[in-house]
Structure 1
Amino acid sequence: MTHRPAVVFDIGGTLLDSTGTVQAECHAVLSPVLGTTAAAEFAAAWQHRVEARTAEIVAGQAPWAPSERLQHEGLAGLLPRYDLEVGGVQYEALNGAGSRSQAFPDAAAGLASLAEHAQVIGLTNTDLAASSASCAGTGLRWHALLSTDSERTLKPRPEAYLQPERRLGINPARSWFVAAHPWDLRGAAETGYRSVYLPRPHADGPEPEDDFDATVASLEELLALVTGGAA
């Protein structure tokens, strides 16, 4: 057991700009053949399909599937609407975007600074292989990286948040859970974590009734919060 404070992070949308990466890749690949407006519409529709399938799984209306399969199914199902072929040039260029997410500018350095004072743990809905590839490619370094795919579940299902405690001995009541997604923070709080909201582009904002333990504008502010300003 460690006496260092533990900070559990959501990754996609909080440290990795998953949405922005998909938008940029769709613009680069599809704008030459569809135009800028249609490329942006494609990116939004692709993400909506994945989010809808994820919501069905969380609600128990569909069987669990790994995130990369959901991404692939969303892409393959959308291409014919734009007269593009599964297996074609655009498909090959966009498939696997989940392994290429780019980090927010402050993520790598902020995480490294925090790791000097706390145990930093990633907990993601993304496949472990895809998340590991994105983290390696962007310089995000963890003391532990966990994926809900090992439990065949998805956040915000309550069992998804039990992994840090069960696998690493983390006490949620003494730990921080950091996310840009209010729904993720609600799920973490329900399992005993102290919730920290870190606003990011492309993430939905809080509801009026949301009551997080803390809100920080940057990873630098998070470091001060976790260390009591002693960093």
Structure 2
Amino acid sequence: MKKTKRIVLLVISVIWVISSTGCYLMAKGNPIRYFQAKREIQTYIEKHYGEEIVMGELSYTSKTNTFYASVTEADDSRNHSSIVYYPTGEIGDYYQFDIQSRMEEEVSSMIYTFLNTQMQLTQEDITINTLLELPPFQYQLDSSYDPNIPVTIQIELNQEFSSKEDYIATAIPLIQKLQILGIPIENAKLYSYLPEDGNSCYRTELTSFEATEEEMVSHTKIVTIKK
């Protein structure tokens, strides 16, 4: 009887150890990978940022088997983001991504305000997306847009146009307004979906923002794309 009891207690102990280990691994990850992730992220920070950002707590997400390190700017702890260590051993720099996203939002807002003032276009009329050729590791989260950074802009005209000529009557003046905005727009795409076909649109795409009105018209086409 005592032997059976000892066996039962031993089995329960083993189950408890296995369960506790499983819970630990789910919460913290593999200890070897934990320290590997910590070392790799710290090395990445030292290489690209020096002492500009500080690594904080390292957390683990079992769903994606990924480690997340919180990071803050050394001169302003209110500015914070994260750097990720993926199962593949790759580093995901969310801090750099957040810098770019904030700056692109700033430029989009600036363009919208300008077009609203110049052409009375509202947020219901246009949807603006911008992409910056941002040099990495040179800016912080509160950095303002540097007007020397090239911009790619995409604007959807949300209103319906009865014809290509009707579309051009709005699109071309809009582009001409952007030409005087004073930021280096290297690529621009304007488009508006045809009301009778949600997969086709009028589209004006320019790789030179110094284009004449005739060139803008010649670059306006009806194209079919997948939403």
TM-score, structure 2 as length reference: 0.21
Higher CA-based Rg? 2
The structure richer in helix per residue is 1
Instruction: Using CA pairs under 8 Å that are at least 6 residues apart, name the structure with larger relative contact order, 1 or 2.
Output: 1
Say which structure is richer in strand. 2
